[in-house]
Amino acid sequence: MTTTDLRAASYRTITVTPIAGSIGAEIAGVDLSLDLDDGVMAEIRRAWLDHLVVFFRDQHLDNDRFLAFARRIGEPVEYPFVRGSDEHPEIIAITKLPHETVNFGGIWHSDTTYLDQPPMATMLIAREIPPVGGDTMYANQYAAYETLSPGLQSVLDPLRAISSSALADVSKTREDRVRDAGDPDAGRVYLASHPVVRTHPETGRKALYVNVAHTARFEGMTEDESRPLLQFLFQHQVKPELTCRFRWEVGSLALWDNRCAQHNPVNDYHGFKRVMNRITLRGDTPV
């Protein structure tokens, strides 16, 4: 049997099909609008931990059912810059309109690492998609760490880095949605210090935990001193062999692990509308 066959055979209630060698799998044979039993949820969680990001097709979930499924995985929390609706404050709309040229979060990143407790996970469901384009890419940060030399690993292991919500390249990707949301706290700057290499609390594996969108410098160093090594890491951690690419359809749902994966929504659909709904799940303090 192939590796793919062996992985698929290890699940009893769902079908899990990897979509790339390093990260990502599609899960079939489950309707997320139903009240799934604990056995099915345990297999979904195991597939998610194994593959870092999992995808479900043809899921017809209203916001109530979307939120109900999210609560089976973790605790939904509100995003700090964009408000959700009054009925569902934990659900935000990720929208790019036909006249807009910048997409929300359109840069490689792990979500909100500028918070002291960044989210464990993020869920995204597609409501309206362009006729072509608008894919999302994901990168395996376990593999990013494991493919570094032992010498560089030993340099990085004790380091911490400062994340900021105000770095220019990512700030501009949320300007339209922040303006539309009218949040009085939208101008607040968040800063947090985290390990450069974090240990996943569920798997025990080490993952590289810096990202080009939010990591400003190493703790105790200036930005100029930090820049050469950070630039190397930013390029290394999204090499093609560490990534997968997912093509959305209406009703597609993605669940990714922010503790060990990065993502990048590809901005290649100017002139068309794309609407997604997002839920963020509470995380812990990285160690």
C-beta of residue 43 within 8 angstroms of C-beta of residue 13: yes
Distance, in Å, from the CA atom of 166 to the CA atom of 162, rounded to the nearest integer, reads: 12
Q: How many CA atoms lie within 13 A of 30 on its CB side?
A: 25
Catalytic residue among 51, 214, 274, 278: 278
Q: Measure the CA angle with vertex 81, ends 136 and 101; round to 5°.
A: 45
Catalytic residue among 83, 200, 263, 274: 263
C-beta of residue 58 within 8 angstroms of C-beta of residue 251: yes
User: To which residue do tokens 């998609």 refer?
Assistant: 129
Distance, in Å, from the CA atom of 269 to the CA atom of 186, rounded to the nearest integer, reads: 27
Mapped onto helix, strand or coil, the DSSP state of residue 91 is strand
C-beta of residue 18 within 8 angstroms of C-beta of residue 53: no
| Closest alpha carbon to 195 in 254, 264, 118, 248 | 118
φ, ψ for residue 169, nearest 5 deg:
-65, -35
Q: SS3 helix, strand, coil % of the chain, rounded to 5? A: 25, 25, 50
Whether 263 is catalytic is: yes
Whether 227 is catalytic is: no
Catalytic residue among 109, 198, 214, 259: 109
Q: Which amino acid is at 215?
A: T
| DSSP conformational letter for 203 | T
Tokens of 198: 């974090």
Mapped onto helix, strand or coil, the DSSP state of residue 151 is helix
Catalytic residue among 111, 174, 198, 214: 111
Tokens of 208: 């590289």
Active site residues: 109, 111, 263, 278
